Chains A and B, each alone.
Chain A
Amino acid sequence: MSEEGRLSVGLISCSGEACPGGTISRLATQKVLRSIRPGYNFVTICLPLFMAGGEEERNFARDYPTITIDGCEKCCALKATEALSGPVSGKVVVTDLIAKEDIGEGTLSIRELTGEQKAMVDHVAAAILEQVTKIKQEG
């Protein structure tokens, strides 16, 4: 479960082409991935590749604790991961944390995020890290 004494955790984010929450989930996942958190090794799994038949990705999600991050209640990332690799260790759904109407409508460019949306990214990133902590505590 560990690499050089660090806990490897898989992060599978929704794609975000169909809802603005997806952009938030992508960015929050990236934020966690780039964050420096001693003792952890974060690995993102490209969801389309995972679904298109990437065996390495599927095996990783099977063998390591994995958190799905979904933009909306469709929970594409969660459903795909459970179907292809089994139960997840943690899940975050953006619309559970932030009201849909606050996120807005349509697809979002990474470059066009408002200050409020950037704060949403931070909020979701924090929720992902909470799940990470929970996984660590549960051993």
Chain B
Amino acid sequence: MAAKYVILPCNGLDKEAGCLARELALKMAAAMDGEIICPVLYQTAPSRYASLLQEGNLIVIDGCATRCASRIAANNNLKISRKITMAEEAKKRDYNPGPDWRLGAGAAAFVEDVWRSWQPVFMEQGAGRASEENTGLFAGPVEYAIHRHDKFIFRVPLEGFYFNENDCWVQVEGNRGRVGISDYLQQNLSDITFVTPPDPGTEVEQFGEMGTIESAKAVYELVSPVTGRVVAINEAVLEAPELINENPYEKGWIAELELTNFEADREFLLDGRRYLEVLKEKVADFNAGK
């Protein structure tokens, strides 16, 4: 087992999605020897779970978009390791949670499928966490260009990085690419509070979704600059999302991909110098209130 997990599911009495969240929590707890936090008891007697929360990685499972479990975690300043939202999982699978809370065979199969898809993320085997060995493959930028505007300073690496106009970058080494967000975007988002990277093994298309970043201001959907298969995610930013604010081009990388079409993808990307020009325009437009 990679780590001890504690699971905070939503109560889910009102909607089937919530009942599914609870069923997934039970399945995960049994499979990973994890502990479930009762969202209600936690709020009436938080000390009961204090040591568990200190020792374990917290997984939050929400049923619907109201995200009660996430709200409870946020209200109590709990550090979330992973979030799962059953309504989103259902959407991905074209599964329509119905009004029947008794959870028939279809619901059971759905929960099983959701667990199967998340299992590699939580279990040691195939977890796809970045290892010490592969972190050496990507050297940090040698040289940064700087663009100053009022009190703001924006950095852009000039060599080895390619950007899309959505302010996401890829650093390429051989057939591997490490992806993240630009200094400009992290400053726009302000304090980053949570990162949901793509799952290891996910096939990502150029300009397809590559996870989300949540900040105090917004939830931002990452747009992949390249096509490929996710082979690792940056465990460090899951633990400390602020690394993206502090060091977006090195410690704040988000995922590593095995590139499958980079020569073609590059046609639609900007190198550091060209991105710097785009950045200047964005800053000017922002300043002009466009």
Contacts A15-B39, A80-B43, A110-B19 hold; do A49 and B68 have CB atoms under 8 A apart? yes
Q: Say if the beta carbon of B189 comes within 8 Å of chain A.
A: no
Looking at chain A's contact residues, the main secondary structure is helix
Q: Say if the beta carbon of A17 comes within 8 Å of chain B.
A: yes
Q: How far is the CA of A27 from the CA of B103 in the complex (A)?
A: 11
A17 contacts B38, C-beta separation under 8 Å:
yes
Nearest B residue (CB) for A83: B44
B64 CB to closest chain A CB (Å) equals 9
Contacts A46-B68, A47-B11 hold; do A14 and B102 have CB atoms under 8 A apart? no
Contacts A46-B68, A52-B75 hold; do A17 and B44 have CB atoms under 8 A apart? no
A93 CB to closest chain B CB (Å) equals 14
- Of A47, A107, A110, the contact of B101 (CB 8 Å cutoff): A110
Q: How far is the CA of A111 from the CA of B102 in the complex (A)?
A: 7
B38 contacts A18, C-beta separation under 8 Å:
yes
Interface residues in B, total, Cβ within 8 A: 32
Contacts A51-B43, A110-B19 hold; do A13 and B68 have CB atoms under 8 A apart? no
B151 CB to closest chain A CB (Å) equals 36
A46 contacts B14, C-beta separation under 8 Å:
yes
Q: How large is the interface on A (under 10, 10 to 19, 20 to 34, 35 or more residues)?
A: 20 to 34
B41 contacts A51, C-beta separation under 8 Å:
no
Contacts A29-B13, A46-B11 hold; do A52 and B72 have CB atoms under 8 A apart? yes
B26 CB to closest chain A CB (Å) equals 5
A117 CB to closest chain B CB (Å) equals 13
Interface residues of B (CB under 8 A from A): 9-14, 18-19, 22-23, 25-26, 29, 36-41, 43-45, 66, 68-69, 71-72, 75, 101-103, 108
Closest 6 CB pairs of A and B: A17-B38, A18-B38, A48-B39, A15-B40, A15-B11, A52-B71
